[in-house]
C-alpha cells in the first residue's frame, strides 16, 4: 500500500462534483463534439424516426438523433465497436455529453446500425460532406484527402461525395465485422470487460486484491526458488562436463544450461585430457630415446590433431554461431 506524503495534492474521489453541473461547461466551445451535435440536429433524420420504438410505459426508446450523433462522433474517432461506444458513453466526456449521461447498451447500438444500414450510410456521408463544405480538412481522425466541394463544379463535387461515401461505407463495414467478432468472443449480451461479481463491492474488492497480490508474491517466490534450483543444476552440469578428471556427462543438458557454456566445457575437457596424454607420452618417449629405444604402439596424438578434440571444438563453434544468429 503506498504511503501518503504530506506534499502530495489531495485525491478526494468522494467529493460532490468533479465536473461542472452543466454539461455545456464540460468541454470548450471549439470542441468537435459541439459541431457533431449541431450537424446531426440540422441534417434530415426523418427516415430514422419512422422506425423508432417509443417503448412502453417506464421504458421509453432512445432518441434516434442521439444514437446517430454517437455514430458520427464514433466514426470521427475510429471507434467501430458498439461495445466500445457503450464504454465511452460512461468514461469519455464527449460521449457522455452526446448521450446526456443515458448510456445505451451495445445491443441497442448494434441493432440500430443493422436496422438502418442504408440510411445510416447516407447520414454519415452527409455529415462528412457538410464538414468538407464548411472548409474542414478532417472530421476527427477522418481526413478528407483534399476533397473540395464546389457549387460550380458538379463533376468535382460528385467525385468528392463518392469518396466521402466510401469512407462511410468502410466505417460501417468495419463496425459490422467488429460487432460480429466480439459477439463470437464474448457472447451477444456481454460487453467483455465486466468485473467479476466479487470485485464490484468496494470492501470485497480490496480483500480480493490483497489476496491476489499475496498469491502473486507466493508464486513469484516459488518460481524464483525453482529457477535458482535449475540454475544451480545447470552450473553443476557445466562444471562436471568440463572436469578432465571426471566422467563425461552423457544425456541432455538441463534446460537452464547455456548451450555455449556446455559445448565449451566439453571441448576444453577433452582438450585437457588429450593434452595430458600427449604430455605423458612425450615424457616416456624422451626417456626411451635416452636409452636408445623407441616406444612401441601408436603414438599419442597432439591435442590439435586429436579427432575427438576437433569434433568438440566444431560443436562449440556451431553453438557460438547459433547463439549469435538464432534460427527464426
User: 92 vs 20, 89, 171, 278, CA distance in Å?
Assistant: 15, 6, 21, 80
| φ/ψ of residue 51, rounded to 5 | -95, 0
What confidence tier does 150 reach under pLDDT thresholds 50, 70, 90?
very low
Residue 18 lies in a domain: no
Note the pLDDT of residue 155. Answer: 41
How far apart (Å, rounded) are the C-alpha atoms in residues 99 and 34? Answer: 13
Same domain, 185 and 267: no
**Domain range for residue 269?**
243-328
How far apart (Å, rounded) are the C-alpha atoms in residues 317 and 328? Answer: 19
Q: Are 50 and 105 in contact (CB under 8 A)?
A: no
The residue whose grid cell reads 461495445 is 83
Which residue, of 167, 196, 225, is where some domain finishes?
Answer: 196
Same domain, 48 and 152: yes
pLDDT in tens, 233-288: 888 888 888 888 777 666 678 888 888 988 898 889 989 999 999 999 898 888 88
Tell me the mean pLDDT in the region 133-142.
89
Which residue, of 196, 222, 251, is where some domain finishes?
Answer: 196
| Predicted model pTM | 0.66
> Which burial class, exposed, middle or buried, applies to 240 when counting CB atoms under 10 A from its CB (0-12, 13-18, 19+)?
middle
Residue 98 lies in a domain: yes
Query: Which helix (H) or strand (E) element contains residue 224?
Result: helix 202-241
Same domain, 43 and 179: yes
pLDDT in tens, 205-229: 888 889 999 999 999 999 999 999 8
For residue 204, how many C-alpha atoms fall within 13 Å in the half-sphere facing its CB?
7
For residue 40, how many C-alpha atoms fall within 13 Å in the half-sphere facing its CB?
21
Residue 133 lies in a domain: yes
Residue 11 lies in a domain: no
pLDDT in tens, 102-135: 899 999 999 999 999 999 999 999 999 999 989 8
User: 230 vs 77, 225, 236, 242, CA distance in Å?
Assistant: 50, 9, 10, 18
Same domain, 248 and 175: no
Same domain, 247 and 188: no
Same domain, 127 and 268: no
The secondary structure of residue 19, as a DSSP letter, is S
The residues, ordered by sequence, that sit 6+ positions from 274 with a Cβ below 8 Å of its Cβ are 301, 302, 303, 306, 308, 309
The residue whose grid cell reads 468495419 is 174
Residue 137 lies in a domain: yes
* Number of structural domains the chain divides into: 2
Paired with 100 in beta bridges are none
Same domain, 185 and 106: yes
Residue 89 lies in a domain: yes
Residue 126 lies in a domain: yes
Same domain, 41 and 158: yes
Same domain, 265 and 191: no
Same domain, 176 and 286: no
Residue 225 lies in a domain: no
Amino acid at each position: 500500500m503506498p504511503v501518503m506524503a504530506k506534499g502530495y495534492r489531495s485525491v478526494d474521489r468522494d467529493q460532490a462534483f468533479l465536473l461542472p453541473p452543466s454539461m455545456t461547461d464540460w468541454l470548450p466551445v471549439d470542441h468537435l463534439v459541439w459541431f457533431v451535435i449541431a450537424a446531426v440536429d440540422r441534417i434530415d433524420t426523418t427516415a430514422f424516426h419512422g422506425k423508432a420504438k417509443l417503448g412502453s410505459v417506464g421504458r421509453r426508446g432512445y432518441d434516434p438523433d442521439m444514437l446517430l450523433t454517437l455514430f458520427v462522433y464514433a466514426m470521427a474517432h475510429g471507434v467501430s465497436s458498439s461495445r466500445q461506444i457503450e464504454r465511452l458513453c460512461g468514461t469519455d466526456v464527449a460521449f457522455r455529453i452526446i448521450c446526456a449521461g443515458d448510456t445505451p447498451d451495445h445491443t441497442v447500438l448494434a441493432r440500430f446500425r443493422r436496422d438502418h444500414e442504408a440510411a445510416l450510410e447516407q447520414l454519415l456521408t452527409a455529415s462528412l460532406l457538410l464538414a468538407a463544405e464548411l472548409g474542414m480538412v478532417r472530421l476527427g481522425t477522418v481526413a478528407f484527402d483534399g476533397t473540395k466541394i464546389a457549387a460550380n463544379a458538379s463533376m468535382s463535387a460528385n467525385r468528392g461525395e463518392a469518396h466521402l461515401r466510401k469512407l462511410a461505407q468502410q466505417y460501417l463495414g468495419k463496425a459490422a465485422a467488429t460487432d460480429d467478432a466480439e459477439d463470437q468472443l464474448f457472447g451477444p449480451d456481454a460487453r467483455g470487460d465486466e468485473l467479476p461479481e466479487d470485485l464490484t463491492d468496494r470492501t470485497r474488492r480490496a480483500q480480493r486484491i490483497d489476496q491476489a497480490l499475496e498469491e502473486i508474491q507466493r508464486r513469484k517466490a516459488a518460481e524464483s526458488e525453482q529457477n535458482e534450483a535449475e540454475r544451480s543444476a545447470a552450473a553443476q552440469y557445466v562444471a562436471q562436463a568440463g572436469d578432465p578428471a571426471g566422467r563425461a556427462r552423457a544425456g541432455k543438458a538441463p534446460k537452464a544450461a547455456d548451450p555455449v557454456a556446455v559445448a565449451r566445457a566439453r571441448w576444453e575437457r577433452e582438450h585437457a585430457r588429450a593434452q595430458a596424454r600427449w604430455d605423458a607420452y612425450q615424457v616416456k618417449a624422451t626417456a626411451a630415446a635416452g636409452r636408445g629405444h623407441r616406444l612401441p604402439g601408436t603414438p599419442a596424438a597432439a591435442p590439435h590433431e586429436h579427432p575427438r578434440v576437433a569434433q568438440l571444438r566444431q560443436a562449440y563453434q556451431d553453438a557460438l554461431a547459433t547463439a549469435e544468429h538464432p534460427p527464426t
